[in-house]
Structure formats: structure tokens, C-alpha cells
Structure 1
Amino acid sequence: MINNPKFLIGMLTLFLVSLVACNPSDESSAILDNQSEKNNSAQNTNDDASLVDNKDASSNGKTDKENDETDEKAETPSNNPDKENSASLKEVYLQKLNETKTEMDKLRDNPEDSSTYALKNVESERFDVWDEMLNEVYGILEEQLPANMMGQLRQEQRDWIENRDNTAKEASIKYAGGTMEQLEYVAVMNHLTEERTFELVREYMK
């Protein structure tokens, strides 16, 4: 029976069929295993990429916040004295003179009483204030103006002082010998000194 060729061929055919039937299954299994490994690897890679992206996003968020803070600081005006540069020294002094004028006018309009003595005290006080203000402005101009221009102003100021004193003297003569003589003299001095202080600031100060 074993020597029967038909039997041997049949057995061999069966063996080959069985062998062929088993091999595709193994290859499929191998392919599935490989595909699974690739999927796992891809998943791990995606997870890693996600972690990196999240880390970068977190880092970028921090950087953006820092940038925002930097921008805010850049937009915040600094407490720099140069900020006061928005108003020139000339504008500052014109405001100062106007405030002084308001105070001095109130002082003149509200004396302690109406006596000549009280009025003279008010005018004397006003003169001290305006004379001091004039000297302050003049001192600033000495620092601001070039030497040749300051030389001209110095001579102009000497002429002005002489003219002021003469004008005040002439105005007071009509009250010569009376109690109003000195009051008129100081009142005119005040008026001219106030005008000159404003004039120096407007025409010469920067």
C-alpha cells in the first residue's frame, strides 16, 4: 500500500496543500505583528510630539507674557525729568509770573486798612517780590544767552533801571511833601518792575 504510487502522490499533495495553507497564515500574523509594532511606534512618536508641542506652547505662552509685560513697560511713561520738557522753561516762568501777579493783586486789593501807612507797606512788600522775581529771571538769562547777546541785555537793563527810577520819581513829584509821595513812587516802581519781568521772559527766555 505504501508502495502504491497513487497513495504517495496523494500524501505528498496533501502535505504540500497543508504547507501552503499554513505559510500565508504565518506571514499574515507576521504582517499584523509588524503593523501593530508600527502603530505603537507611531502612537509613541505622536505622544512624544504632543509633549514637545505642549512644552513649546507652554514656553511660548511664557515668552508672550514676558513680551506683553515688556511692551507694557515700554508704553508706560517714565518718571523722567525730561517729561517736564513738554513745557519749556519760558512757559513755566510765564505761569509762575501769572500766579505771582494774581497773589500780588490780591495783596494790593486787600490791605489791612485804608491808611497811607498800610498801603505803603503793601507796595513795599510787592516791590520786594517783583524785584526778587526780576533778579531770578535775569540770572537764568545769564546762563541761557550767548555772551554777545547777554552783553547787550546787560546794558539794556542798566538803561531800563535808570528809566524806571526816573519815571517813578516824576510820578511822585505831584505829591511832593505829602504822605502819598512815597506811596506813588513805590507803586510805579512795582508796576514797571512787573512789566519788565514779563518782558524779559517773553522776549529772551527759551
Structure 2
Amino acid sequence: MKKNSKTLLSIFILVCLVMLAACDHSSAKSDNDGNSQSDNSSDEEINNVSKEDSTETVSDEETDTNNLETEKTSDQLSEEEEEEQTPAADTTSDLKETYLNRLNETNEKTESMEAEDSSTYALKDVAHKQYKAWDDLLNEIYGVLEEQLAAEEMTQLREAQRDWITYRDETAKEASLKYEGGTMEQLEYVTVLADVTKDRCYELVEGYME
């Protein structure tokens, strides 16, 4: 009888141990499944956040690009509007004003030239420099008018300029005859050339330049 009781007790203990082992195994499995699901959820959340960050970055880049393009377009439109609002006449008007200033500056420069001494040679040297200054400026003005005037107007100006050259030389020659044979003859000739050429520069700018 005692043996049977011991046998039943041993079976009962064995069954309990088996059940406990099964419960532990099931619990461990549940924990593993739960942790696995939790890890998967975390991974999905991280991926979603990364995607959102990437989307925001792309959106920011697109916005910046659009803003730059808008600014460029605005700047280009502003420049085009300024060009359209600026009359073409202003350019020619400024050009005429520029040459009038040049004429006045050259006049002041030539009048301020002084001879090193009172000798005829020194006086003639100054007169030659004055004439060269006005003759160089006259040629420059004439070149501007060639680009600015219409073909018919330029043809008329060429004919007038030829007549003027004849007038210039004859006027200077006539003035120098007062000192014919003297040391002042050449000085007077060059001085008159400079004066007549200066007057012609003012005539061309004021009468022809637009």
C-alpha cells in the first residue's frame, strides 16, 4: 500500500514538473514573439520617420529652387522693364552733352598753355600743340557723326567739310600775310588754324550731333 502511494506521488510530481516546463516554454515564446513584433514596429516607425524626413528635405530643396527661380525671373523682369523705360534718345543726348563738356575742357586746356619763354620758337610750339588738340578732337567728332547720321546727311556733311577745309586754309593764309616775310608769319598761320578748327568742333557738335 505504501509503495503504491509513493508511486502515485512520484507520478504527480513528474506531471507537475512537465506542466511547469511547458508553461515556461510558452511564456518564453510569447515574450520572444512580443519582442519580435515590438522590434518590427520600431523598425517600421524608424523607416516611416526616415521617409518623412526625406520628403521634407526634398520639399525644402524644391522650395529653395523655386524661390531662386522666382528671384531670377523677378530680377530679369526688372532689368527688362528698366531697359524699356529708358528712352533711346537719352543715349544720344548724353553723347552730345559729353562732347560739349569735352569741347569746354579742351578750350580751357589750350588757353592755359604757356610758352616757356617769349621767343617765336616757343610761341609757335604752343600754337602747334593747340592746333593739334583741336584737330584730333575734330576728327573724333567727325567719326562719331559718320556712325550717327543717315547716309544722305553724311554725304552732305562730307561736302560741307571739304568746303570748310578750303575755308580754314585760306583764312589762315590771309591772316598770316600781315606778317609776310617776318618771323610771326608762321605763328599767325598756325594760331588761326587752331581758332578756326575750334569753332568747327563746336559747329559739328551743336549743329549735327543728336
TM-score (norm 1): 0.58
1:100 aligned partner: 106
For residue 114 of structure 1, report the CA deviation from its aligned partner.
Answer: 1.4
CA distance in 1, matches of 2:204, 2:127: 22
Q: Percent identity?
A: 53
2:182 aligned partner: 178
Q: Which whole-Å deviations, capped at 9, do the CAs of 1:118-146 have from their partners, x for residues lacking one?
A: 01000111111111110110111111111
1:13 aligned partner: none
SS at match of 1:174: helix
What is the root-mean-square deviation in Å for CA atoms of aligned residues? 3.8
How many residues were matched structurally? 155
- Within the candidate set 128, 131, 140, 2:132 is matched to 128
SS at match of 1:113: coil
2:209 aligned partner: 205
1:3 aligned partner: none
* Counterpart amino acid of residue 149 in structure 1: E
2:60 aligned partner: none
CA distance in 2, matches of 1:154, 1:81: 35
Q: Which whole-Å deviations, capped at 9, do the CAs of 1:169-191 have from their partners, x for residues lacking one?
A: 00000100111000000000000
* Counterpart amino acid of residue 90 in structure 1: K
CA distance in 1, matches of 2:202, 2:83: 25
CA distance in 2, matches of 1:113, 1:87: 45
- Paired residues for 1:10-89 under 5 Å: 86=90, 88=92, 89=95
Return 5+ residue gaps in structure 1 as ranges.
1-65
- Within the candidate set 196, 199, 203, 1:195 is matched to 199
CA distance in 1, matches of 2:152, 2:91: 27
For residue 87 of structure 1, report the CA deviation from its aligned partner.
Answer: 5.9
* Counterpart amino acid of residue 139 in structure 2: N
* Counterpart amino acid of residue 139 in structure 1: G
2:157 aligned partner: 153
TM-score (norm 2): 0.57
For residue 81 of structure 1, report the CA deviation from its aligned partner.
Answer: 10
2:23 aligned partner: none
Q: Which whole-Å deviations, capped at 9, do the CAs of 1:30-75 have from their partners, x for residues lacking one?
A: xxxxxxxxxxxxxxxxxxxxxxxxxxxxxxxxxxxx9xx99xx79x
CA distance in 1, matches of 2:167, 2:106: 24
- Within the candidate set 112, 119, 122, 1:115 is matched to 119
2:96 aligned partner: 90
- Ranges of 4+ aligned residues in structure 1 off by more than 6 Å: 80-83
SS at match of 2:122: helix
For residue 164 of structure 1, report the CA deviation from its aligned partner.
Answer: 0.7
CA distance in 2, matches of 1:157, 1:81: 37
CA distance in 2, matches of 1:112, 1:138: 33
Structure 1 pair 114/152, CA: closer, same or farther in 2 (3 Å)? Answer: same
